[in-house]
Amino acid sequence: MISVRKVSFNYPDGPQVLHDVNLEVKDGEFVAIMGENGAGKTTLVKMFNGLLKPAKGTVAIDGVETKERSVAQVSRDVGLIFQNPDSQLFAETVTQELGFSLRNFGFSEDVIQKRVTSFLHLLDLEQYATASPFVLSGGERKRVALAAILVWDPKHVIMDEPTIGQDYLQKERLRNLITQLVSQGKSIVIVTHDVEFVAECKPRVVLLSHGTIIGDGPAEHILTDPKLVDQASLKMPQIAILMNNLPSADRSREIIDVYSARDFLLPRIRTGTGTTQSPQKVA
Amino acid sequence: MSLRFVQGFKFTKLDTPIHNLDPRSKFLLILGFFTTALMFTNIFVLLVVILVQIPVVLMAKTVKRWLQSMRGGALYAVFIFAANLIFGTPLVQAIAFGIRFLGIVSAFSLFFMTTSADDLGLALEKIHAPYAIAFTFTTAVRLVPTMAIDAQTVVDAQRSRGLELDKGNLMKRIRNYIPILIPLIISAIRRSVELAEALEARAFGATEKRTSIATLKMHFADYVVILLTIIGLDLAVYVYLRVPLPNPVIPIQVPHIKL
């Protein structure tokens, strides 16, 4: 479990970025941290693996405070995937890139080989095994960076803006991968502005604004609250906007994805209730 | 690893006599410190080169950031000292080389902390440097803080992958920096290519003769600084040629290291 208690933080000579933040992420939970630029999202997740230590309060991973351990020790349990893959890629081949962290953590060579092969397959990178990471496209580099973290099997996985530069197919793959990781009991935290991706995944959403948590709950509840969404400089998902614009009889505030909207609207269309008249148009 | 020492080279707009100096006179002053530091290997003179800069730092109100740059520079000074000692340089001279480096770091930190990139560009144009070169130089200066942020991100990313920079013997520690340097160099190259393309897309170099709204003008204080620099340099040359300067005797025998 990731436990953040009364955490405040400011960068040296800078303003306070986080104010008295409390947050708990349980094992097997999927959380999306959202909020405006400069809200303190990345600062908060950098505390999860000990890169930043709180000025006040505590951050504990499975009961052990990050202050008591080195970044390498905490990172064994908390994998942090940075927004820009170019911040970490350096090796001659994708295979070497994946093996780097495993060697740092002291895995044996045969385990390294097995894991690298397995994760190249999992993230559809087999054809690039001997290629330089620098010749790959932006989306592919992002997948290499993801594989390079998942390869050591951290218990908690943090992803900073994982959908940037990814096409729809890759986002779908990412969504499936997250589902798979959550089913393995891993806690997944993503930092994102991508409301449509969150609307499809429907995780728990933590809304951050000016270093303070202003909302915490199911995506359907948070992303359909106009005040909260506005305060965090976000936009409601398209489906939520559509539902809000329907005549009052058809409104359902907490619908954010196409399938839930279909399930809600179809019976009404078939029975002719509400104001929607043409079933063919929706189907 | 913190890269906060780069703050010691970052310009901040302040209204102080040093900030208000013409960049040309300021550069001449810094060149004076630099030349004197290079001329001497005497510890006392090199310490004087640093001490003389302290009143200037105080006048520029940049003590805190100057100390940051000196703290960062001190690490490299220790490395220079150790490397010289390993390769057989006498102890006193190895110390002098370390102090010399600090004197140079101090001077350039002072210059960059008090001179904006725009002023620097204007000064280069004023001495008839081609505009492309002046622009390249000022852009490089402007990008230093951005590069420092990039470097910190790369360090954080690699530490998150279990890299421990301060672990192992000297060779291992040096090797530990490869995963830091490669992403940094690659991103710098990528950025420069993108910048060049963006400049070309905005017709950079289309006009041969450029005019500038802001112009530089020397004031009384600038002439005083130039005069003091010339006097100081003359004095340094005189001491270098005429005054025998004994180095301190350090009663420590350094064993010769066979390589």
Question: What pLDDT is attached to residue A210?
Answer: 94
| Chain A neighbors of B153, CB-CB under 8 A | 82, 84, 87
Q: What confidence tens digit (pLDDT) does each residue in B2-41 have?
A: 566 677 778 888 999 999 999 999 999 999 999 999 999 9
A1-77+154-235 adopts what CATH topology?
Answer: Rossmann fold (3.40.50)
Question: What pLDDT is attached to residue A52?
Answer: 94
pLDDT-based confidence at B132, cuts 50/70/90? confident
Amino acid at B230: I
Question: What pLDDT is attached to residue B216?
Answer: 86
Q: How many helices (H) and strands (E) does chain A have?
A: 12, 10
Alpha-carbon gap, residue A65 to B20, rounded angstroms: 49
Question: What pLDDT is attached to residue A282?
Answer: 41
Q: What confidence tens digit (pLDDT) does each residue in A154-176 have?
A: 999 999 999 988 889 889 989 99
Q: What confidence tens digit (pLDDT) does each residue in A120-143 have?
A: 999 889 999 999 999 998 889 999
Residue A203 pLDDT > 80, yes or no? yes
Residue A9 pLDDT > 60, yes or no? yes
Alpha-carbon gap, residue B155 to B149, rounded angstroms: 10
Q: What angle do CA B67, B73, B76 make, to 5 degrees?
A: 155
Beta partners for residue A208, in sequence order: A35, A213
Residue A252 pLDDT > 80, yes or no? no
**Cα–Cα distance list, A102 to A105, A149, A150, A214, B160 (Å):** 5, 9, 10, 38, 12
Which residue out of B160, B178, B187, B191 would a mutagenesis test of the A interface target, given it has the greatest number of A Cβ atoms within 10 Å? B160
pLDDT-based confidence at B256, cuts 50/70/90? low
Which residue out of A87, A103, A132 would a mutagenesis test of the B interface target, given it has the greatest number of B Cβ atoms within 10 Å? A87
Alpha-carbon gap, residue A188 to A32, rounded angstroms: 8
Question: What pLDDT is attached to residue A283?
Answer: 36
| Chain A neighbors of B190, CB-CB under 8 A | 86
User: Which regions of chain A carry the CATH code 3.40.50.300?
Assistant: 1-77+154-235
Which residue from A36, A40, A38, A39 is spatially nearest to A234, judged by alpha carbons? A36
Range in A146-150, A275-279, B129-133, B243-247 with the lowest mean pLDDT? A275-279
Residue B254 pLDDT > 70, yes or no? no
Question: What average pLDDT does the segment B178-185 reach?
Answer: 93
When comparing pLDDT for A244 and A50, which is higher?
Answer: A50
Q: What confidence tens digit (pLDDT) does each residue in B41-86 have?
A: 999 999 999 999 999 999 999 999 899 899 989 988 999 999 998 8
Residue A281 pLDDT > 60, yes or no? no
Alpha-carbon gap, residue B205 to B203, rounded angstroms: 6
Instruction: Answer yes or no: do B159 and A149 touch at CB < 8 A.
Output: no
Cβ neighbours for B231, distance < 8 A, ≥ 6 positions apart: none
Alpha-carbon gap, residue A5 to B230, rounded angstroms: 61
Instruction: Answer yes or no: do B159 and A89 touch at CB < 8 A.
Output: no
Q: Does B190 touch chain A (CB under 8 A)?
A: yes
| ipTM metric | 0.85
| CA B7, chain centre distance (Å) | 12
